[in-house]
Amino acid sequence: MKERKVLRSFVMISQLGISMMVPIFLCGVIGYWLNGQFHNELLFLFALVIGVGAAFRNLFILTKSFYAADLKKEQEAADYLKSLKEYSQQHPEDDFTDVMEGKKKRYPENDGPTRH
């Protein structure tokens, strides 16, 4: 099991490296070729900047998928706490100090989560 995680991490790091280097290299080659055709050094720099921008765009897209599950869990926890606060405001006679401190979980208006 650990070997799979290590292998998956290695593949992801390799993919990030390739996804960053390919656009920079290709845009550099195209800029160099355009520089030779039109004898303007700014074309190489302009193409290189475009390549760097494309590389960072690729990096953003690839890493966003890594953190999507974590962001979803954080959003669910925030939504749970928000609903718990709303419930406690509607029912001030209940004591929610143990739940708000994270000592135990309480689901408002029912005994627990339902499975469908």
pLDDT reading at 106 higher than 80: no
- Give the dihedral of Cα atoms 98, 100, 105, 108; nearest 10 deg: 110
Q: Taking Cα atoms as reference points, which of 109, 116, 114, 105 lies closest to residue 80?
A: 105
CA 46 to each of CA 21, 30, 33, 89: distance values in angstroms, whole numbers, following the listed order: 17, 10, 13, 58
Where do we find the tokens 């074309």? 43
Per DSSP, the chain holds a count of helices (H) and strands (E) of: 3, 0
Average per-residue pLDDT in the chain? Answer: 82
Range name among 2-16, 30-44, 90-104 with the lowest pLDDT average? 90-104
CB of 12 within 8 A of CB of 63?
no
Residue 100 has a pLDDT of 58
* Predicted pLDDT of residue 31: 95
Q: What is the pLDDT of residue 10?
A: 86
pLDDT at 66: 73
Can you give the residue ranges of every domain in the chain? 2-100
Task: Give the pLDDT score at 115.
Answer: 54
Contacts of 35 (CB under 8 A, 6+ apart): 41, 43, 44
DSSP one-letter code for 93: T
- Split at pLDDT 50, 70, 90, the class of 58 is very high
> What are 83's two structure tokens?
């609903």
More confident residue, 25 or 115: 25
